[in-house]
Chains A and B, each alone.
Chain A
Amino acid sequence: MAQQGGSSSSGGGGSLNVSPMKPLASLKVLVVDDEPMMRTIHKAQLVRAGINDVEVAANGKDAVDLHVNGATFDLILMDLHMPIMDGCQATKELRAMGVKSSIVGVTSSGGAEKTAFLASGLDDCVSKPFVLQQIAHYLKVPRSPTNPPKYHNP
């Protein structure tokens, strides 16, 4: 995903390179969740918002494999508890691979679990099911590849 540098402004996590806004219709989003119902709801929310390119994965490993095979996304919505590979592990692996997409965790877990999830390399974490306003920022401003994830503690 090519990103052009824009004006800088400081955000909560340090300096933030704000990229020019991409039209919603041109965004590619990946929804990672083991529950068919949640994938259906989240995909419908995104399509309703005007995003036509929404891919889904049923677990963290499938999400990682998509990237190994060359797929790129502007935004990844990552569930936490999934079989085979959970969201925490998947996020760590994606970041280790050099994936710079915005990754937003979607979970109803709290406390230490949520903290660990955030620290795995997320840009944010929202409750499940999310409302579009919670991720609107990441739809309007895909993260610049030079900008580190907000909560990442490598």
Chain B
Amino acid sequence: MDRNQSHRQVATMKQSLFDQGYLDHEQFNQLEELQDDANPNFVEEVVTLYYRDSARLVHSIEQALEKSPIDFNKLDSYMHQFRGSSSSIGAKKVKAECSLFREYCRAGNGEGCMRTFQQVKKEYTALRKKLETFFQLARQAGPVDRARRPK
């Protein structure tokens, strides 16, 4: 596959992530605008940090949900963080599920929290798989050629 085809494939995949509602177009583009020759893998680095933050928060939430009685304030605080970091990379569906979880927290509804948390994890896992494929494609395609400056 030639480079142009590879880049088109990357662009198509990115558009499908927007169209299917996984990623917020504006937010993700803001991250991409920070990527340049000095930071060619900036977006992937940020997303990798997101995975790390998310793993820690998911673990904390799981532990908090196992406690009895449930500390809804703590849960809400964790999910507030998870929602915030998801929002920062444009993870639209994850963010939406996080918001729903917080509503159940505020209502003190443990069952609702547990149910919604499964959805949060499902959306997060789905997004992560798609992003991993996307970045693998992007790496294979290589950087987009920039116009050479005259010497």
Chain B residues, CB < 8 A from A65? none
Q: How far is the CA of A75 from the CA of B50 in the complex (A)?
A: 26
Contact: B87 with A41, CB < 8 Å? no
Interface residues of B in 11-63 (CB under 8 A from A): 30-31, 33-34, 36, 39, 42, 45-46, 49-50, 52-53
Number of interface residues of A (CB under 8 A): 15
> Closest CB-CB distance, B116 to chain A, in whole Å?
19
Which of B42, B52, B80, B89 touches A44 (beta carbons < 8 Å)? B42
> Closest CB-CB distance, B74 to chain A, in whole Å?
12
Contact: B80 with A41, CB < 8 Å? no
Smallest CB gap from B31: residue in A: A41
Asked if B77 is an interface residue, CB under 8 A from chain A, the answer is: yes
> Closest CB-CB distance, B121 to chain A, in whole Å?
19
Asked if A137 is an interface residue, CB under 8 A from chain B, the answer is: no
Judged by DSSP, the binding face of B is helix
Contact: A128 with B49, CB < 8 Å? no
Which of B34, B77, B80 touches A45 (beta carbons < 8 Å)? B34
Task: Knowing A108-B84, A128-B88, say if A40 contacts B46 (CB, 8 Å).
Answer: yes
Number of interface residues of B (CB under 8 A): 22
Contact: B45 with A40, CB < 8 Å? yes
Chain A residues, CB < 8 A from B81? 35, 81
Chain A residues, CB < 8 A from B6? none
Contact: B49 with A40, CB < 8 Å? yes
Task: Knowing A37-B46, A40-B46, say if A128 contacts B84 (CB, 8 Å).
Answer: yes
Known: A40-B46, A81-B81. 15 other contacts (CB 8 A): A35-B53, A35-B85, A36-B52, A37-B85, A37-B88, A38-B88, A41-B46, A41-B88, A44-B34, A44-B42, A81-B80, A109-B80, A128-B84, A128-B87, A129-B30
Binding site for A on B (CB under 8 A): 30-31, 33-34, 36, 39, 42, 45-46, 49-50, 52-53, 77, 80-81, 83-85, 87-89
